[in-house]
Structures are given as structure tokens and as C-alpha cells.
Amino acid sequence: EDQVTQSPEALRLQEGESSSLNCSYTVSGLRGLFWYRQDPGKGPEFLFTLYSAGEEKEKERLKATLTKKESFLHITAPKPEDSATYLCAARLNNDYKLSFGAGTTVTVRA
């Protein structure tokens, strides 16, 4: 069965303390791996698309990478405004729906 699993469930960081979030996927025919940010009471906000192994994308303090089995979201020197739930989602070969992981809730303390 196709699955998207994120770890850890929650991450508490001190401001400036870099860390990484993991998204592992067991899907056949990956057609794109997407990272979203979700703030409380809001919809997922698009961050990155990764399509092929070895690809990297960056935006401010965030950097996403992709291998054949997993993706990482690296947060460098986080600030309190980076506190959110980060979701990864896989798009499969013949589908255009997204299969989401459960998310990692990141809290950054000043």
C-alpha cells in the first residue's frame, strides 16, 4: 500500500538551532513530492516541489532534498515565525491527488 510517513511528530527548537524533518514514502511511480506549511486554522501553503532524486530546493531558511525513498526539510537557524506544521505529500504516477503524511509540528522558541 502506498504510504507517506513523517518524523518526528513534533519538534521543539531554540531560535537558531538548525534541524531536519523527514518524509519517507513507499509509493510506486512517484510523480512529485510536495512540501507544504500549515498554520493553525489555515490551509496548507505550498513550499516546494521535488521531482527527481538528488533534487534540492531552497527558500529562505528552508531547504528540501529528495532521495529515492525519502525527502528531508532542513530548517537552518530557525526563527519563531517558522513555527508551523510541515506537511509532505506525494503525487503518484497515474493520479493527480496528493497523499499526505501526518505532518511535523515545529515550535521555535525565542
Q: Which residues bind other proteins (CB under 8 A)?
A: 31-32, 34, 36, 41-46, 49, 51, 87, 89, 91, 95-103
The answer to whether residues 44 and 87 touch, using CB atoms and an 8 Å cutoff, is yes
CA distances from 2 to 25, 37, 53 (A): 8, 22, 18
Cα gap 109→36, rounded to integer Å: 21
CB of 77 to other proteins, least distance (A): 26
Nearer to other proteins, 41 or 54 (CB): 41
Nearer to other proteins, 21 or 91 (CB): 91
Nearer to other proteins, 77 or 102 (CB): 102
Task: Give the residue carrying C-alpha cell 509509493.
Answer: 27
Which grid cell is 62? 528552508
Nearer to other proteins, 34 or 78 (CB): 34
Cα gap 102→23, rounded to integer Å: 10
CB of 16 to other proteins, least distance (A): 30
